[in-house]
Amino acid sequence: MATLLLVRHGRTTANSSGVLAGWTPGVHLDEKGREQAASLARRIAAVPLAAVVSSPLERCRETAAEIAAVREGTKLALDAGVQVDDRVGECHYGDWTGQEIKKLVKDPLWPVVQNHPSAAVFPGEGGEALRDTQNRAVAAVRDWNTRLEAEHGPDVRYLVCSHGDVVKALVADALGLHLDLFQRIVVDPCSLTVVQYGRTRPFVARLNDTGGGVEGLASAPKRRRRAAKTTASDDAVVGGGAGAP
């Protein structure tokens, strides 16, 4: 069975400032994000990967480039050793792109995104339905499974670097969950999720693994209080948020 290492990009300034970056160009990893990418690259360096695939957006390409560089044992140019696939790019948020989350929570679409995301279509030119985001990402993974299994055999391993909502949508599909339940899944920056695609069903072998200690659990109540200032305490952060401090 093909094994997919699914990685969310490292933290960006947009994440830490509560902005929904979407397809905004020029959003790069911040210092912590670069550290996260380097740490993850070292953790998985021994895993034989047939391919490293990335969203076309800079924050994913930078994360994937760090992984590819560690595997090669040298600093590489951006995209060297990385294959870009638009289908695993971020959701097209339309008019929501570049907006602060604390403002978006007041939009009438917000509760739809939270509670009935399969019906959510983001407003404005180029706005995408979340169900279409899921469909294209799932199609991409299935295509890569077929292609890489044909080239490297049934036990192939490969990596895809994508975005919070895209990773959550892929996990929901792998778990057999309706898209309306995908907000129950948490995917932190530079977390590792592993899905094994068997002949009759996928298996989620690892989810939201950041490889760290338990400090985030100790500070969880404080994080919830901070989140409550801008969103309801049980709302998911569209785009995935900034993760643990």
Query: Would you place residue 227 in the very low, low, confident or very high pLDDT band (cuts 50, 70, 90)?
Result: very low
Q: Comparing C-alpha atoms, which of 171, 177, 166 is closest to residue 136?
A: 166
Query: Would you place residue 123 in the very low, low, confident or very high pLDDT band (cuts 50, 70, 90)?
Result: very high
pLDDT (0 to 100) of residue 51: 95
Dump strand ranges (E) for 43-150. Answer: 52-54, 83-84
Q: How buried is residue 185: exposed, middle or buried, by Cβ count under 10 Å (0-12/13-18/19+)?
A: buried
pLDDT (0 to 100) of residue 228: 44
d(CA 18, CA 237): 9
Burial 52-67 (b: 16+ CB within 10 A, else e): bbbbebbbbbbbbbbb
Q: Comparing C-alpha atoms, which of 242, 241, 83, 92 is closest to residue 159?
A: 83
pLDDT (0 to 100) of residue 70: 82
Q: Quick one: tokens of 218?
A: 């100790």
Burial 88-108 (b: 16+ CB within 10 A, else e): bbbbbbbbbbebebeebbeee
In this predicted model, which residue has the larger pLDDT, 226 or 74? 74
Q: What is the pTM of this model?
A: 0.88
pLDDT (0 to 100) of residue 37: 96
DSSP single-letter state for residue 179: G
Q: State yes or no: pLDDT of 26 exceeds 70.
A: yes
DSSP single-letter state for residue 220: H
Query: Would you place residue 52 in the very low, low, confident or very high pLDDT band (cuts 50, 70, 90)?
Result: very high
* Strand partners for 126: none
Which single residue is written with the structure tokens 């985001």?
133
Ordered by start, the domain boundaries in the chain are 2-228
Q: What percent of the chain has pLDDT over 90?
A: 80
Q: State yes or no: pLDDT of 225 exceeds 50.
A: no
For 73-114, what is each residue's pLDDT tens digit? Answer: 666 566 668 999 999 999 999 999 999 999 999 999 999 999
d(CA 118, CA 19): 23
| Residue 184 CB coordination number (10 Å) | 11
CATH 3.40.50.1980 assigned to 2-228: no
d(CA 91, CA 132): 9
Cα-based distances in Å from 162 to 112, 192, 217: 23, 11, 25
For 184-194, what is each residue's pLDDT tens digit? Answer: 999 999 999 99
pLDDT (0 to 100) of residue 226: 44
